[in-house]
Amino acid sequence: MGRSARTRDQLLAALAQAGYTPGAGDLAALVDLLGDSVDPPAPLDLVLRALDRAAAAAAPVLLARLAQPEPSPHLVRALGRVARAGATAARAPLLALVGDVGAPVRLRREAVIALGKLGGDDARAALLARWDAGADLDPAERRALVEALGKLGGADAAARLATLDDGADAELRRRRQRAELMISRDDQRAQPSRVDLARPLPRPWPLVVRCRLGLEELLAEELRTLGVREVRAATGEVRVEAAPALLPAAQARLGLVTGLLVPLPMGDLPAAIAAALAAPATVAALRALTDGPLRWRLAFAGGGHRRGVVWQTAQAVRAAAPVLVNDPTESAWEVVVDPDAGRLLLTPKGWDDPRFGYRVGDVPAASHPTIAAALARLSQPRADDVVWDPFCGSGTELIERARLGPAARLVGTDLDPRALAIAAGNAAAAGPDVAARITWSEGDACVLAPDGVTCILSNPPLGRRIRGDAAALLARFVTHAATVLAPGGRLTWVSPAPERIGAAARAAGLHLEHSLLADLGGYQAALERWRR
């Protein structure tokens, strides 16, 4: 015996459940909701999402309802969505509806929109045929056709758009410009873009190297060791006054991202961005570093999409410098807009960053490699060091220490044999010179005592990789660490509770030499160096 049909209220309650997938008995009632005349109406997005989850079964129900008198345009929208979700039976009716001049304009318009999203040569052919047959197209349908052809692309679509007279229809003009932009972008995707940061810039250029909050001075120090001159630490970044190339700064292991700094003029934001980006000096810098099309995408320092600004900017840039191709998915450069700071930051996306390619495996709550690199630098490495990481996890700290310079021995231990296997794999990926210098073994950090340790280097579990009180464990460990370290040895690590654990360290005979608060990805902890 089948389940009784749900009432409207029961169906609305089911739609509100995140995991709701309609059964066959619910489909007719769900489709009824698409033409719902009850006030308030059913939430359209929830109905469409539910039908997507039962796409193959929903298609015939939608088609049957479309054949009845005065069908709702929402039925066609739903048909397009279930077609994209895999209901192959929905495709042919959509193609037919586009060419049905006797169908209501609202239905045909929804079919045009659906085919633009669905894609395919048959969809493009159907839309072009409707364009060619419709000299007296309804304005709303013409706008939908323009937008759909922009999504589908192709030379035939571009030719139709080029001959379109948009007259006084400002919305049609806006959609045509956007469609032409999309087609131009898609046409160039066959050509790869690659960024080569080793090439010289046309002239010395100001740079910004972004980093985790708290690491600015350490990053500035690293940049100086890399030969980068005129560096100045600021909040969350280091600024380089004038660099002849990007690569030296981009090689800094404490840096998150490195980019070209471009001043942003005052005024209307899309126009200001376009003026800065399309300036001859900016284009010349991008051209010098890029093989292939100069593809770019827009982002905002404060987050968010701001689609209106993006499209207006893309159109203005295309008009001012057609060589710059706006492409949000295949971009070689990301243009980060910071109106408050009055600047653009042009960061390479089409660059294969080699710094942390060794991270072929990971463990939960593992160190970000820039934090590991910061710890290695903070440890004041010496060539005669015996370095122990008692909570080695995926091995990032020891690998970064090995990359920073020579050491007598590097020892990694952990309670989890799976973590040790991952660490060994990462070390192997870092190269034979790194892998051969590190030994890995299983053991308890509060019990083990490797011989001759002069430096303990670790980002210990901060409550997420262990059960119980992390601070209590680390307080016990720091007492043990004081007995393991050779006289003058250093403990360089991340402490989640500096006051509580620091008291235990002092009681064990350690004294604090350096401490800085750093952002570890949404929370702060102290990077510390203690000495015995």
What is the DSSP annotation of 112-180?
Answer: HHHHHHH-SHHHHHHHHHHHHH-TT--HHHHHHHHHHHHHH--HHHHHHHHT---TT-HHHHHHHHHHH
Share of the chain above pLDDT 70, in %: 97
Residue 87 CA to residue 422 CA, distance in Å, equals 43
47-96 pLDDT per residue, tens: 999 999 999 999 999 999 999 988 999 999 999 999 999 999 999 999 99
Residue 418 near residue 440 (C-beta atoms within 8 A)? no
Structure tokens at 276: 């800065």
Predicted pLDDT of residue 461: 83
Share of the chain above pLDDT 90, in %: 75
215-236 pLDDT per residue, tens: 999 999 999 999 999 999 999 9
Predicted pLDDT of residue 178: 86
pLDDT level of residue 463 (50, 70, 90 thresholds): low
| Stretch 312-323: mean pLDDT | 93
Amino acid identity at 528: E
Q: φ, ψ for residue 370 (rounded to 5)?
A: -70, -30
How much of the chain is helix, strand and coil, in % rounded to 5?
45, 20, 35
In sequence order, what are the residues at sequence separation of 6 or more whose Cβ sits closer than 8 angstroms to the Cβ of residue 89?
Answer: 56, 59, 60, 63
How far from the centroid of its chain's Cα atoms is residue 60's Cα? 39
| Nearest to 458, CA basis, from 366, 521, 385 | 366
| Nearest to 359, CA basis, from 320, 395, 401, 309 | 395
**Cis omega before residue 40 (within 30°)?**
yes
Predicted pLDDT of residue 39: 67
Does pTM top 0.75 for this prediction? yes
Residue 172 near residue 142 (C-beta atoms within 8 A)? yes
